[in-house]
Every structure is written in structure tokens, then in C-alpha cells.
Amino acid sequence: MNDKIGGAGRDLTVRVKTARKRSTSSTRWLQRQLNDPYVAAARREGYRSRAAYKLLEIDDQHHLLRKGARVLDLGATPGGWTQVCVARTGAGKVLAVDINEMDAVAGAQFMQIDFLSPEAPERIRTALGGDVDIVLSDMASPATGHRMTDHARIIALCDLAYEFACEVLAPGGTFCAKVLQGGTEAKLLIRMKQMFTRVQHVKPKASRADSKEIYVLATGFRGSILVE
């Protein structure tokens, strides 16, 4: 990843005045967006979200997205991670799945489905032509502002994504999902370590410094039987 992402020109800061109908928190969010180099880079380089740079950095460090790999992007909307997957693995082997609609990404398939539905595993295998090599999840539930509640919700999503990954992954496969600092719940980590040869946390630079967001990366899937 280029350390000078977003440009290395003048150090300008855009300041936003609080409008009558805009809350202080909304003003802070807008100012942060306007001054975020990853937001500017995503706009310039054609990525649908700044989140693309998180996956780019994770892949630069850990080399997940090899050419020809079958990749499943869970909760893919708006498609930034899907774009990275296509660029790194090649067209035709990337499947984006979301319960919501998503504009097509060139070189990727899209399936609008709840991945928790009974038919989802078989439909996904059929679409990709076999078991999946890499399952990615950048899913997050809407923030409530209550730390423990937000942590519990995102761990629950990670847990669901992990169990689904164990249904569709090929031996040797990889799982990467978003959690929050404060720790992935001990029970889930123990289960992951039983099913993968290596489990670690990663924090890409594109993840904002003031965010508790972090990713759990599990590699070397051992098999398809879940360990309780």
C-alpha cells in the first residue's frame, strides 16, 4: 500500500460549519469524510468505498487473494471489497452476496440472498463451481453508541459468518471478518483455532485510528465439521 495515498500535496484541512438543520455529530462526520485521504483516493481510483483499502492492505501483508481463487464476499454492498477481489484474483471466481441490492461489479457475480437461508450454501457452491477458497466478511450492524451492545452485535455477525464459512470452505481455505477491539469472544476464538491452523487479529492502517474496528484472519481450514 502506498503510504502517500490520497496525495502528498498541500496539507489542507476542510472545515465544515454546523448548519441549523445538521447536528454537531453529523458535522463532525462530514468534516472527517472531506478530510479523509482514503475517501479521496477511493473517489479518484474508482473504488465504491474507502473500505477497499483495508482489504488491499490485508492482502498486501498476508497474500490471501491468489489468482483463480474462488472468493465469497458476504454482506458485499456497496462492493468495494468485491472490486478488490476481482482485481486480485481475476474475473469469474468472485461471488458477492448481500440481502440488499447491489450494482453489478464487472468480473464478479452477485447473488441477492440471505446467507443464513437453507439453500444458500448449495447455491453459492453452484455459482462458484465448487467449494470456496476464501470467505470475507466486512459486515457490521448499525452502531448504537453503546460499546457493549455494539461489540455483542458484531461478534454475533462474525460468529454467523464463521459458521457459514465452515460449511462452504475448501480444505486449506481462509476466513477474514470484521470484529471490534475488546476481543473476539473467547469461545469463538477457541473454535476458530480448532478449525484453522492459524488465527490472528489484523488492524489495517485504512481502519481509522479512533475506531475499535479490527479483523480476525483465520487461515488453513482443517475441514468441514464444526467443533463445539
How many Å apart are CA 75 and CA 158, to the nearest integer?
11
Indicate if 178 belongs to the active site: yes
Cβ(97)–Cβ(114) below 8 Å: no
Task: Count Cβ atoms within 10 A of the Cβ of residue 225 and give its class: 0-12 exposed, 13-18 middle, 19 or more buried.
Answer: exposed
67, 178, 193, 203: the catalytic one is: 178
Catalytic residues: 178
